[in-house]
Amino acid sequence: MKPLLSYWAYDSFPQQMDNAELKAVMAGLARPPNGMGVVDSSFIGLDSTPVMTNTKQNNPKSFAKNKFSKENQPKSAPDCTLSVHSASNLHSEHRYEFYWSYKNHVLVDCISGLPLYELTNPANTADSTVAIDILAVSD
């Protein structure tokens, strides 16, 4: 038996794969349960999560200058956008971390927990701007 690949190999796998192929895999996973009555779509939810871009600008060990400047767009991901999140849960502490990313919007059947549809956009895309499109496509 061969040893398993490292976490980092699995972590970068979705970023190296074509998004259309990932959508086909996800649709294939949701289709059989839907036909078996597992998914009834009477209670659905839409949520999103950031997807950090695999670029040297996001590497904390990189000493590149202005790596979080909007003028310094990553060449490996020309349509990703600059994102920020709080690096602390304390209200009195204001630490922020910047990173280049996309946003993954996922429509989920809340009863079964299965994904019904996925859409990946630049990180500055709000859920409200894609909700109607996702609901229309998933019908």
Residue pair 45/117 in contact by the 8 Å Cβ criterion = no
Tell me the mean pLDDT in the region 53-81: 83
> Is residue 55 assigned to a domain?
yes
Choose among 123, 120, 118: nearest CA to 74: 123
Count of domains forming the chain? 1
* Assigned domain for 8 exists: no
Does some domain include residue 134?
yes
**What number is the average pLDDT over the span 96-104?**
86
**Which contacts (CB < 8 Å, 24+ apart) does range 84-87 have?**
85/50
Residue 35, domain member (yes or no) = yes
Query: What totals of helices (H) and strands (E) does the chain contain, helices first?
Result: 3, 4
Q: Does the residue 127 lie in any domain?
A: yes
Residue 45 lies in a domain: yes
pLDDT tens column, 7-48? 667 666 666 777 778 777 766 765 555 556 667 777 888 888
Q: Answer yes or no: is 3 within a domain.
A: no
Q: With CA atoms as reference, report the closest residue to 47 among 133, 101, 127.
A: 127
Q: Which domain holds residue 80?
A: 17-138
pLDDT of residue 34: 55
Comparing CA positions, the residue from 132, 36, 138, 126 lying closest to residue 83 is: 126
